Amino acid sequence: FPEMLSNPKLLLVQGALNVVMKQNVTLSCLSESGSPPVRYTLFRHNQQVSALNKSDLSPALFTLTISSASDVGEYKCKAEYNISSGGKYSNSLNFTLLEPISKPVLSSPTSRAKKGQNVTLSCLSENGSLPITYLFFKGKQNISPQKTMQKREAAVIFLFIDSLSDFGTYKCKANNSFPNNTKYSNGFNFTLAEERSHSQPLVISLGLILLLLITGFALAIPFFIIPLYKASE
């Protein structure tokens, strides 16, 4: 009687669990105890992908090409003797498809600001594999630590407009695990909001008072000035 099979081990021997389209990966499946020949079957989402009969104690190697989104997900392998009706299953390996990120969009609730004001900037890539890392710039100088977002939500920073130099061009960049895939946003500029002078209301008030005085003097001429002039003749 053949030796009882142990649960096989499924290992990744070439490639990575985070994959891109057209990438090749190789999986190894082996029961460390058992007597050849052994039949190894690879499954994806419980559907058979491939099978190999091994007449020695070497592992069964399965090479796959990731050609569509349906090729990722959970994989397992099964080891069994040809003469048996049962079999042993391995651990699972999960493949995740990496997608390139889209150009991030940099925005703010307001585009007008004045000195002494707090403002916010938001950066978001609507497409691409998570997590996504964002970095904010003013000119060519970064102005924030990296922000890594695990969910599809914008990275936000808070700024204090302290001087006219804070009204330059802002940008952000985004990247993820997809190789050679860094994208920069549009440029964003705050414009200076016109500040009303504190002396303006005072000037307007004085002007109104002067206008009232002139109007009052003009109205008084027929009633007071002319009679006084005639009385003095």
What CATH number did the domain enclosing 113 receive?
Answer: 2.60.40.10
Residues 73 and 135 in one domain: no
Looking up tokens 């002319």 gives: 226
Q: How many domains does the chain have?
A: 2
pLDDT of residue 166: 87
Confirm whether pTM is higher than 0.85: no
Residues 25 and 63 in one domain: yes
How many whole angstroms separate alpha carbon 15 and alpha carbon 25?
A: 5
223 belongs to a structural domain: no
Residues 132 and 55 in one domain: no
Q: Among 57, 80, 97, where does a domain finish?
A: 97
Tell me which residue range forms the domain holding 158. 105-192
pLDDT of residue 199: 46
Residues 84 and 116 in one domain: no
Q: Among 52, 67, 97, where does a domain finish?
A: 97
Residues 142 and 125 in one domain: yes
CB 87 within 8 A of CB 79: yes
Residues 87 and 132 in one domain: no
pLDDT of residue 195: 57
Pairing of strands 18-19, 93-97: parallel
Helix (H, G, I), strand (E, B) or coil at 98: coil
pLDDT per residue, tens digit, the chain (233 aa), is: 668 899 999 999 999 999 999 999 999 999 999 889 999 999 999 999 999 999 999 999 999 999 998 999 999 999 999 766 679 999 999 999 999 999 999 999 998 988 889 999 999 999 999 999 999 999 989 999 999 999 999 999 999 988 888 888 999 999 999 989 999 999 999 988 865 544 455 556 676 777 777 776 677 676 655 555 555 55
127 belongs to a structural domain: yes
How many whole angstroms separate alpha carbon 32 and alpha carbon 28?
A: 12
32 belongs to a structural domain: yes
Pairing of strands 73-80, 47-54: unpaired
225 belongs to a structural domain: no
Residues 84 and 115 in one domain: no
Residues 116 and 185 in one domain: yes
Residues 111 and 150 in one domain: yes
pLDDT of residue 1: 60
Both structure tokens of 131: 């997590």
